[in-house]
A and B are shown apart, each in its own frame.
Chain A
């Protein structure tokens, strides 16, 4: 038994094998190179911005003394709009995902999922146009109602923007764009709930909602968190819908309905870039770098949550 171990037979290395595996590896390395290039070029083009003078800041009358004073309101607006969007999007997405995975008749559930996915396929510029011409006029009476009824509530204090191009409108448009992403991921997670757990709950006499609360939601919690993070990443980077619908200012403001709204990094770049020149371009590049860092952090956090769940600690 122990004396005769057959020598390991190695297949001869053929030229075709070497070339093919080399090509496949090269494809992978191109991705490595591309990302390294993104980082290097963005940083290289951003460096001049950190010494920018007040007159180099694009689209302002020189009221921002340094680059950091300029980027702080932009970063605030980006996060604020995205968080508001998620406040609306997350409950809806969970409800829709539950509807498709556990409430709708199984025969039509796939079709309903495809319809929701259709929302993700619509280009953002079309959302922007729809936001200006249809959604804005539609929500304006509601915003005026809010401002008149709850004037004591600081977030709703007026005057309401006459075209409803305020951050609350933008957040709702963003929510519509983010819902299909969160829904698609949550749906997949909900469908993976162990069948036996669900049936055990039902056999113990639980109603459908109690079954969902006891088995589906605890199982899917980590999935919901990471799906929401991915949605947050999308909302942070969304450009055109914000640029078209919002009436922008570079300020920090929590008012939801007014005409002076904090704009986002991406929308600001889209609006200022076509006319920018000289150091202004570098300043915009640097704000883009800040956006990249924010989205990277959010995506890394979401991946950490998924990873924990894969390791079996998240449940």
Chain B
């Protein structure tokens, strides 16, 4: 009994107790919380200042931890604790915008997240009512067309780079994929506009397909990068076993390499779609905006969900709140689509991945 209590005391002598940081954090928050309550009761602030209480509580925590540690443990450990508190605080602060965003979109978006929203367009709507079905259809068509362009091109390029590519052509393609990753989305939109304006000779060209071309320009590099990574993960032994059985290279790639990497490739494609489905700028330029339903990808302006949110916010009619409600409902829909795509991607990666021995 005597030894079990004596040893920990000896080891931890001259140190703060294990739960000191958490205890000090609670203490600081209570102190500043009480202080701001006093400010409220004294009439210095109109409402209880939650942000201020938390902020100054965190500042107090950082200072108090440093000072106590400095007095008890010395300057080196005090500096270590200072960095620990700062790093934890930074992570906490980074979470605040995310929480604020999600709460805002949920509370403001649910007002119009109803059946009418997903069954009506904005044609002849100037006040309440209306919906975003034309924008949802537009987003689906434009994004699907972009995927139909980018997936074959991206996948074939990845196969070329991993299985065939040697020498200057492969190096050139790798370099250009890197360049493409950095293209600003608005430049992709300008390119698609310039391309179709020159081809059709129509200086005011607007159509959904132009948006698809712009999006595929942004999507191809993501698909190439992720597929390349996945193809490289396929063990060389699998290919060699196939060659040893006399299978030609193209059948090996098609029947052995691709099925092994399929789950990863599908995940990459899903994430690429999630990445471009929220792109606004290129669609604003090339696909334009409209209040009416348009099923034809190749003719006339076509609304998409991000542009819908943008126009509802920036061009509200007389009754502003109706437009803002529709915009937030659109933002909620958009975030849900992105989240669902991300979840599907992770599920595919988790459950359909082949069992490869760890490298």
Contacts and interface: CB of A to CB of B under 8 A. Distances in A.
Interface of A: 11, 14, 16-17, 19-21, 23-28, 30-32, 34-35, 37-38, 41-42, 44-45, 91-92, 95-96, 98-100, 103-104, 112, 115-116, 118-119, 121-130, 132-135, 138, 176, 179, 207-210, 212, 230, 233, 236-240, 244, 266, 269-270, 273-274, 277-278, 281, 284-285, 288, 291-292, 295-296, 298-299, 303
Given A291-B184, A303-B178, 9 more contacts: A30-B157, A99-B88, A99-B91, A119-B98, A123-B277, A128-B310, A239-B185, A244-B310, A277-B203
A288 B104 CA distance: 33
Interface stretch (B32-40, B60-68, B125-133, B328-336): B328-336
B76 A129 contact: no
B105 A126 contact: yes
Given A31-B176, A37-B191, A119-B97, A209 B310 contact: no
Interface stretch (B5-13, B148-156, B351-359): B148-156
Contacts of B88: 99, 103
A41 B51 CA distance: 51
Interface in B216-232: 217, 220, 224
Given A134-B104, A285-B190, A239 B165 contact: no
Contact of A239 (B101, B184, B289, B334): B184
Contacts of A24: 156-157, 159-160, 163-164
11 contacts: A14-B248, A23-B156, A34-B180, A38-B187, A92-B93, A208-B84, A212-B83, A240-B281, A270-B285, A295-B183, A296-B182
Contacts of A115: 95, 98
Given A17-B250, A31-B224, A35-B176, A233 B182 contact: yes
Given A14-B248, A16-B248, A179-B94, A291 B156 contact: no
B94 A116 contact: yes
B327 interface: yes
Given A24-B157, A24-B159, A239-B185, A44 B280 contact: no
Interface in B172-213: 172-173, 176-188, 190-191, 194-195, 197-198, 203-204
Given A28-B156, A37-B195, A233-B182, A129 B97 contact: no
B59 interface: no
Contacts of A129: 309, 313, 327-328, 331
Given A27-B156, A299-B178, A237 B285 contact: no
B27 interface: no
A274 B285 CA distance: 7
B265 interface: no
A130 B91 contact: no
B160, B254, B324 interface centre (most CB from chain A within 10 Å): B160
A285 B79 CA distance: 52
B86 interface: yes
Chain B interface SS verdict (over half):
helix
Chain A interface SS verdict (over half):
helix
Contacts of B169: 25, 28
A109 B176 CA distance: 34
Interface string B77-94: 101101110111011011
A128 B330 CA distance: 13
A103 B3 CA distance: 32
Contacts of B195: 37, 41
A296 to B, nearest CB: 7
B100 A273 contact: no
Contacts of A21: 160, 164, 249-250
Nearest to B161: A28
B209 to A, nearest CB: 15
Interface string B284-295: 110011000000
A125 B186 contact: no
B61 to A, nearest CB: 15
B152 A41 contact: no
Interface string B239-279: 00000000011110110000000000000000000110111
A123 B224 CA distance: 22
Given A24-B157, A31-B177, A103-B84, A41 B91 contact: no
B159, B161, B169, B281 interface centre (most CB from chain A within 10 Å): B281
B296 interface: no
B339 A121 contact: yes
A126 B156 contact: no
B138 interface: no
A270 B87 contact: no
A124 B220 contact: no
Contact of A273 (B79, B178, B284): B284
A130 B160 contact: no
Contacts of A239: 184-186, 280-281
Contacts of B191: 37-38, 41-42
A25 B274 CA distance: 27
